[in-house]
Structure 1
Amino acid sequence: MTASTASVSADAAVQAPPRHAPFRQTLRVHSLADIRRIEALAPLAQAMPVRSTYEIMCNSAAAFGDKTALTFLRSADPADAPIRWSYRQLLAGIHQTANALHRLGVQPSDAVAVLLPGCLDYHLALWGGEAAAIVQPLNPLLSDEKLVALMRAAGARVLIAYGAEADAEMWSKALRIRSQVPSLTTLLRVPPLDEPASARPALPDGVQCFRALIEAQPSDRLLSGRDIQASDIAAYFHTGGTTGAPKLARHSHGAQVFTAWSSVQVQGLGPDDVTLNGYPLFHVAGVLPGALTALSAGVETVIPTTALMRNREVIRNYWKLVQTYRTTVLSAVPTVLAALANVPVDGADISSLRYARTGAAPLPPELSARYQQLFGLQVHESLGMTEMAGISTITPPGVVAPAGCVGFPLPFVQLRIVRLDASGNASDEDLPVGQPGMILFKSPNLFSGFVDPADNARAFTADGWLATGDLGFVDEQGRLHISGRSKDLIIRSGHNIDPKVIEDAVAAHPAVQLSAAVGAPDAYAGELPVLFVSLVPGQSASVQELLDFTAQRVDEAPARPRHLTILDALPMTNVGKIFKPDLRVLATRAVIAELAETQAREAGLATPPALDVQVQGERYVVAPATPTALPEAFRQGLAQALARLPVQAQWQDAPAALAPASAPAV
């Protein structure tokens, strides 16, 4: 027993949070006027008296008891028996997890890192971790280097990691990185669900079995006696961790509670609902508007295997799983929706579905139309972001809106649309209804800033509004429409081109599955629009056919794409968003190859030499793929052409030897 545990008084050990009712919808939302009516009924502190995620779990356990909270699918076979936890069992496990962390000496200001796949134990780590300290969910697909950087930035004291490799070598990563984080004192191994205690391996010093540790703890109370305040930090979520230095967003308990409460108000979720949550739980979408919202209202949440929606069998059997578990809510990112659109219902009864929602990226109009045609489902869009605890606007059930409309701001949320300044940042000039600009928010679920104060500089305007970087407009009904990100704008000779215009145009072609437009560097125009697509399985189309099809549907000539590339699959983030930085790299490599061909012709070479393009950060280094003597005219000409590009690109005479992950020869 630690000294801190020994000092807890008997009174503190039995302290419990005030009990409130679980969250329920106040009135059905069909319009912005309904949102305003909710705001007028009571001030937020009265409408939402709950202060912490721990209180949410206590309230739901008291209200729903033995009702199923979580259903875990061992496999994607609808006939397999699942594992179910009731609300009472979940709270017991949360108590045990929080108490185990407390006995390890973890304090409320400490970080507990989590490296797990989709599983029941993740919910113990999340909510038990927040009851004891600050949870830091980690993307297991990140490199060791990125994981170490994130944990160091958080000062993580404990790492809870999956005791098997799964599909991301989680246990090997945990063992490798634990010695590289100076603040880390304990590694907790989570045994795979069906691993018997007799098969658990011997663990090295500093490593303990998560399950054995929590099973020895009381399940009916918090030993710490902690009185969690709404302003206490509940979690660190990383954002931008796949492309640059880690940025850790701090979420308060109050912000997370507001996300759950407001999501229930707008969507009307309740104990009769069942949702299949396939979002990864290192991402805000799966944790807050997904899991916490459901658990706050008595919803049953189905976890579709440890691999979630990355499991191809889950995709293949999705509609049968809807039938088996009588799912009422479908929620997935557009790329997952596109994959499900290729799966025939094949006689499955999906009549239980009453609400379909998407977010994380704009919904192509063609995909929206396909869901109406194939499944009779209106896909409702929402807008969420890490900096607003996962949700900002929602299109409620029954509200029919065009693709790109992400619905109404949540109750008590303020929204502005402002003009972009010359640098593409938010100005202080508000724009009228219907005119697009940058979206700004003030909200009760606004994050508490980044862990590193230096990262806050561009996150907020001078008067405290969150500068989202998203572009959109508000219509006459008060609904927000989103078109993309300010950083995704293609700027051709000073002309701003919205990539969504191009993407929607080509997406109307029946053979196109997904599309993404980016700017390719150009010495004269700055950027030229280029287009990448993947095709519906079994369909075919030529590059020229798709270019002509797109050009006919893009009114402005400068926005018509110069090139189109058909890929087997577009690059994705680990949560299913199209990853445009990779496409910009592909576009830049294509430009470099084109410049090399031009210079080879001018230098009298029969064929352009094979080149190696290395990417280091934002810099491109171009060199011969093998040691070879090249004409001076070619070398000088290509060096000058590269220097004229609006990216950092340079020629070097010797073969490049910078990064181990070198680009393929062009």
Structure 2
Amino acid sequence: MPFVPMRQVRSLADVEAIEAIPLEKAIKPASTYEILADSARAFGDKTALTFLRTGDPADAPIRWSYAELFANVTRTANALHALGIGPNDAVAFLLPGCLEAHLALWGAEAAGVTQPLNPLLTDDKLADLMRAAGAKALIAWGDEAEAGYWSKARRLFEAVEGLAHLIRVDPGPALGGDPTPTPEGALDLRALIADQPADRLVSGRVIRPEDTAAYFHTGGTTGAPKLARHTHGGQVFTAWACVQMQGVTERDVTINGYPLFHVAGVLPASLTSLSAGLEMVIPTTGLLRNREVLRNYWKLAEKYGATALSAVPTVLAALADVPLEGADVSRIRYCRTGAAPLPPELAARFERQFGLHVHESLGMTETHGIVSIRPPGLRGPAGCVGLRLPHSRIRIARLDAEGAPTAEEAAPGEAGMILFKAPNVFPGYLDPAATAKAFDADGWLITGDVGYLDEAGLLHLAGRAKDLIIRSGHNIDPRVIEEALDKHPAVRISAAVGAPDAYAGELPVAYVELAPGAEASEEELLEFARAHVDEPPARPRWVEILPAMATTNVGKIFKPELRRRALERIARETLAELTAPNPAPALEVEMEGEGYVVRAAGDEALRARVAKALAPLPPRIRVEPLPAAAAAG
């Protein structure tokens, strides 16, 4: 049977009531393939996936029923098996938003292990990830689109040893048009699966809950991506828990604008929907990066009868600038966000303009996508990410002076490191050393998030541990600065980070993206922030206006890039002082592992002086010559 909510969740008592039923009785499917089989039997011709070819509400979509989806997933699994893919072999994919991404996801999981890849990563990073996973096949979009998909796939096919098959998704039929020729050396996905059985796995594979389902690379918002191993059981539990916490039913319709290489789009969004019989709308290959989709979002929500809205805060900020223009969105019963902190001003604006209260959740790759959810009907302030999942536990550990968790438990209401145990905690990364750092001595997952539990059992976020600004041993929550700046009418979104300082370790600085058509100077914003941040150590040293906030491909604010910008500004100021009154030579800064490389023009003696001046700063900094072409540019 498909997953159905056991009861309406409004409190911790409701979560505990769900826990009265043993997990082995509550969850029957052993794998994601069984979930799709159950849904195909239960819902048959009901629409599972609706793909929008354009962002025009008048355009006709392409639809797959639950029966069609399961048949195509089965055919894909059988085709991969015929190519020699076994249960422990990885199938990587580079795909935009499309129906075929679900074949690459669930078909590869039924045959072997799926490896979703972010197409905006560099070739070198993608190749490293594929080598680490031992990928034997790559499924890729057959033209360039916005990310250079096909040319990147061809380069990876040449570069990655052991990659035996390059499988092309033809954009013609995928977008409802005519087929295009398959390049030499590649296989066509549709032709590959056309003659495969649709009613059984030819391999005869019996998938167990502990079997590896996927290798997901981490989002990389706090550093270089790592490969996390997902199990079928962990993915199934996430879908079941999300159905319970959100009251999802077959009557719901959701627009899934998350990329399908990201855990949020794959598990809390897609698998949850498919396990309960929802209709899921894929808003074009560009998803919510498509400006036409954003411009028509509310009209699309009305046309397809969306009952749930889910997006990261930066996308919500963009949607807040889109007027309803008469669109009827009264069917939307649940608005949820996650992946990044929700600015209180944005939450208030969304409710004021659209009558939608934004609920928050907490999730991460290492928990198969979810830790806690604030369910429909449970209101709360920004930063409240809701209740723990059924059959899970949350512990808050006190932090030491460096922001690391201690063995001492925090008092109720006291912020500390969020530790997590649940059936959906991942078994580890492919790198054993990274796995060892992910857990404490008692086996709790160290989430990296700082927060507290209130008396009602609700979890509140206070930021990420790596995002804490530590000034002379004083922990500064960047949200204090961000919430102050977000109150300025010209600010669309803001982010605060720690800039390295030789004396204090870090000093708070802030970056801002202005609202469309708004005007403000950096000096004005700095004074505004200082006037609205009560704590003197938290008042920013500078505020810098960016044309667009640095974000990841899923819309999370990318604070490592902001920290890099902060160091680059300091390095430029240092170079200017060393060369005054003459103009400063060209300079650039690049992240290098946990440190940075500063490339400066000029002679060796000047670079030695730069290195000496930057040496007292906390991060590891290496100074080297700037290539002639960059210096000339």
TM range (shorter): over 0.9
Match of 1:450 among 408, 421, 429: 429
Write the mapping of 1:36-75 to structure 2, written as runs, cut at 5 A: 36-40=16-20, 42-75=21-54
Would you say 1:610 and 2:590 are equivalent positions?
no
Structure 2 residue ranges without an equivalent (≥5): none
Match of 1:281 among 243, 254, 260: 260
Would you say 1:313 and 2:285 are equivalent positions?
no
Identity %: 60
Write the mapping of 1:513-662 to structure 2, written as runs, cut at 5 A: 513-600=492-579, 605-615=580-590, 617=592, 618-623=595-600, 625=601, 638-649=610-621, 655-657=625-627
One-letter amino acid matched to 1:362 = P
Deviation, structure 1 residue 115: 1.1
Is residue 79–residue 196 contact of structure 2 (8 Å, CA) maintained in 1?
yes
- Secondary structure, in 3 states, of the residue corresponding to 2:437? coil
Provide the TM-score with structure 1 as the length reference.
0.91
**Structure 1 residues 51 and 87: CA distance shift in structure 2, 3 A:** same
Larger mean CA deviation between 400-409 and 101-110 belongs to: 101-110
Describe the superposition over 1:437-478 as per-residue Cα deviations: whole angstroms up to 9, x where unpaired. Answer: 000000111111111212112100011100011000011110
Name the residue aligned to 2:416: 437
CA distance in 2, matches of 1:407, 1:560: 30
Write the mapping of 1:304-343 to structure 2, written as runs, cut at 5 A: 304-343=283-322
Is residue 359–residue 383 contact of structure 1 (8 Å, CA) maintained in 2?
yes
Deviation, structure 1 residue 620: 3.3
Deviation, structure 1 residue 651: 5.6
Larger mean CA deviation between 293-302 and 237-246 belongs to: 237-246
Is residue 142–residue 242 contact of structure 1 (8 Å, CA) maintained in 2?
no
Is residue 146–residue 241 contact of structure 1 (8 Å, CA) maintained in 2?
no
Is residue 401–residue 473 contact of structure 2 (8 Å, CA) maintained in 1?
no
CA distance in 2, matches of 1:608, 1:324: 58
- Secondary structure, in 3 states, of the residue corresponding to 1:285? helix
Is residue 269–residue 297 contact of structure 1 (8 Å, CA) maintained in 2?
yes
**Structure 1 residues 417 and 326: CA distance shift in structure 2, 3 A:** same
Match of 2:233 among 249, 254, 271: 254
Match of 2:5 among 25, 29, 41: 25
One-letter amino acid matched to 2:570 = V
CA distance in 1, matches of 2:226, 2:241: 26
Deviation, structure 1 residue 145: 1.0
CA distance in 2, matches of 1:455, 1:197: 45
Provide the TM-score with structure 2 as the length reference.
0.96
Deviation, structure 1 residue 294: 0.3
CA distance in 1, matches of 2:391, 2:564: 41
Deviation, structure 1 residue 494: 1.2
Structure 1 residue ranges without an equivalent (≥5): 1-20
- Secondary structure, in 3 states, of the residue corresponding to 1:644? coil
Would you say 1:395 and 2:365 are equivalent positions?
no
Write the mapping of 1:122-133 to structure 2, written as runs, cut at 5 A: 122-133=101-112
Is residue 438–residue 471 contact of structure 1 (8 Å, CA) maintained in 2?
yes
Is residue 149–residue 246 contact of structure 1 (8 Å, CA) maintained in 2?
no
**Structure 1 residues 98 and 164: CA distance shift in structure 2, 3 A:** same
Write the mapping of 1:413-492 to structure 2, written as runs, cut at 5 A: 413-492=392-471
Deviation, structure 1 residue 427: 1.3
Would you say 1:118 and 2:93 are equivalent positions?
no
CA distance in 2, matches of 1:232, 1:56: 15
CA distance in 2, matches of 1:169, 1:636: 40
CA distance in 2, matches of 1:244, 1:151: 18
Deviation, structure 1 residue 163: 1.1
CA distance in 1, matches of 2:611, 2:197: 69
Name the residue aligned to 1:224: 203
CA distance in 1, matches of 2:621, 2:384: 39
Deviation, structure 1 residue 526: 1.3
Name the residue aligned to 1:6: none
Write the mapping of 1:328-367 to structure 2, written as runs, cut at 5 A: 328-367=307-346
CA distance in 1, matches of 2:500, 2:178: 60
Write the mapping of 1:92-171 to structure 2, written as runs, cut at 5 A: 92-171=71-150
Over the aligned positions, Cα root-mean-square deviation in angstroms equals: 2.0
Describe the superposition over 1:240-286 as per-residue Cα deviations: whole angstroms up to 9, x where unpaired. Answer: 55886552111110000000000000100111100000000000000
Describe the superposition over 1:291-346 as per-residue Cα deviations: whole angstroms up to 9, x where unpaired. Answer: 00000001000000001011111100000101110100000000000000000011
- Secondary structure, in 3 states, of the residue corresponding to 1:566? strand
CA distance in 2, matches of 1:398, 1:664: 59
CA distance in 1, matches of 2:431, 2:107: 25
CA distance in 1, matches of 2:248, 2:207: 26
Is residue 342–residue 383 contact of structure 2 (8 Å, CA) maintained in 1?
yes
**Structure 1 residues 664 and 549: CA distance shift in structure 2, 3 A:** farther
Name the residue aligned to 1:8: none
Is residue 613–residue 664 contact of structure 1 (8 Å, CA) maintained in 2?
no
CA distance in 2, matches of 1:152, 1:509: 47
**Structure 1 residues 382 and 616: CA distance shift in structure 2, 3 A:** closer
Deviation, structure 1 residue 544: 2.4
One-letter amino acid matched to 2:68 = Q
Would you say 1:204 and 2:174 are equivalent positions?
no
CA distance in 2, matches of 1:463, 1:359: 28
- Secondary structure, in 3 states, of the residue corresponding to 1:62? helix
**Structure 1 residues 120 and 663: CA distance shift in structure 2, 3 A:** farther
**Structure 1 residues 524 and 193: CA distance shift in structure 2, 3 A:** same
Is residue 586–residue 631 contact of structure 2 (8 Å, CA) maintained in 1?
no
Name the residue aligned to 1:379: 358
Is residue 642–residue 651 contact of structure 1 (8 Å, CA) maintained in 2?
no
One-letter amino acid matched to 1:32 = L
CA distance in 1, matches of 2:273, 2:205: 25
Deviation, structure 1 residue 637: 6.0
Deviation, structure 1 residue 289: 0.2
CA distance in 1, matches of 2:578, 2:129: 44
CA distance in 1, matches of 2:271, 2:410: 35
Name the residue aligned to 2:56: 77
CA distance in 2, matches of 1:638, 1:88: 65
CA distance in 2, matches of 1:249, 1:330: 28
**Structure 1 residues 526 and 70: CA distance shift in structure 2, 3 A:** same
- Secondary structure, in 3 states, of the residue corresponding to 2:173? coil
Structure ID, larger Rg: 1
CA distance in 2, matches of 1:409, 1:657: 52
Is residue 78–residue 324 contact of structure 1 (8 Å, CA) maintained in 2?
yes
Q: How many residues align?
A: 630
